[in-house]
Amino acid sequence: MPRIFLLLFLGGCFILTSCSNKQYQTLFQQKNSLTDTSTRNDERNAGLYRIRPQDLLQIRNLQNNKDIVDLSPSVTGVQSSFTPNTQQQASSYLVEDDGTVALTGLGRVAVAGLTRVEAQKKIEDLYHKDLLKNPIIEVKITNLAVTFFGEVHTPGNQPLIKDRTSLVQMIGAAGGLTDKANEKNIKIIRGSEKNPQVIEVDLTDISSINDPRCILQNGDIIYVSENRRAIRNDNFQNFSSIIQPGILVINTLLVILALSRR
């Protein structure tokens, strides 16, 4: 009888540990690690995104309580007014396939190939020349994002709000690493589908904070793998889920056998 109860206890333990949370473990694996081929110039300019067709720009004049879209194209020499208590909402402007964006009072302005700051200054200078007195133009590129997979609390797409956003900052925006995360093996997948680059980052090394490759770029994929302990636990859970039906059958037979001997 003690053997029967021991087997029943073991069977119960297997049942309790039969749920598996294994996810993402096989994503982005490769036998031969790719080396990063970025040049020093690329590293120096990392994060300085250049505007492309189909980008979405958010543009507003910080010196005016009205949005740029409210300016009349036929009026020249408009004096800007500032109302501190009025909350201004920026409008969105699509960069067309020809690389231009249509702005009221200016017509089509070529912005493709410019950085956010360069586009901001160009638009500011054009409005100052013909329409506004001392404008302060703010430009944001709102469609830039990176994608997280694996052991972060909020996987999925995360927007790149500002220039030169670091990996550590975006991990924070994604809710941080889970207790299953392997902080020594974080992969940044970058580049085109035909020529992807895989950059491996070890966050236990303090020098990774200043690594220019860790300045994220639009379209980057960040994969945080599981640590060894989590993998062992997943393997144990998978093993227990495989043998669980057999344990249940054996337990049932032992109970029937024990009852039949009474």
pLDDT tens sequence across 209-249: 889 999 999 999 999 988 877 556 555 566 556 666 767 76
**CA-closest candidate to residue 105, choices 59, 65, 44, 149:** 59
CB–CB of 185/177 below 8 Å?
A: no
Burial class from Cβ neighbours inside 10 Å (0-12, 13-18, 19+) for residue 16 reads exposed
CB–CB of 107/131 below 8 Å?
A: no
Burial class from Cβ neighbours inside 10 Å (0-12, 13-18, 19+) for residue 78 reads middle
What span, in angstroms and rounded, lies between the C-alpha atoms of 250 and 157? 47
- How much is the CA Rg of the chain, to the nearest whole Å? 29
**CA-closest candidate to residue 248, choices 15, 19, 20, 16:** 15
> Hey, what are 2's tokens?
């003690």
C-alpha angle 78-81-85 in degrees, rounded to nearest 5 = 155
pLDDT of residue 59: 92
Question: What does pTM read for this prediction?
Answer: 0.64
pLDDT of residue 149: 95
What span, in angstroms and rounded, lies between the C-alpha atoms of 169 and 185? 17
Express each pLDDT in 74-101 by its tens digit: 333 344 333 333 344 567 899 999 999 9
Q: Is 117 helix (H, G, I), strand (E, B) or coil?
A: helix
What span, in angstroms and rounded, lies between the C-alpha atoms of 203 and 167? 10
* 4, 109, 185, 239, 241 from 8: Cα distances, Å: 6, 76, 40, 18, 16
Computed from CA positions of residues 143, 146, 147, 151, in that sequence, does the dihedral angle turn out positive or negative? negative
What span, in angstroms and rounded, lies between the C-alpha atoms of 161 and 170? 10
Residue 81 amino acid letter: S
pLDDT of residue 173: 94
Residue 117 amino acid letter: V
Within 10 angstroms of residue 101's Cβ, the number of other Cβ atoms is 22
Mean pLDDT, 10 residues at a time, the chain of 262 residues = 50 47 45 47 60 94 68 40 43 93 94 96 92 89 95 94 91 91 91 88 88 92 83 56 69 73 68
pLDDT of residue 240: 59
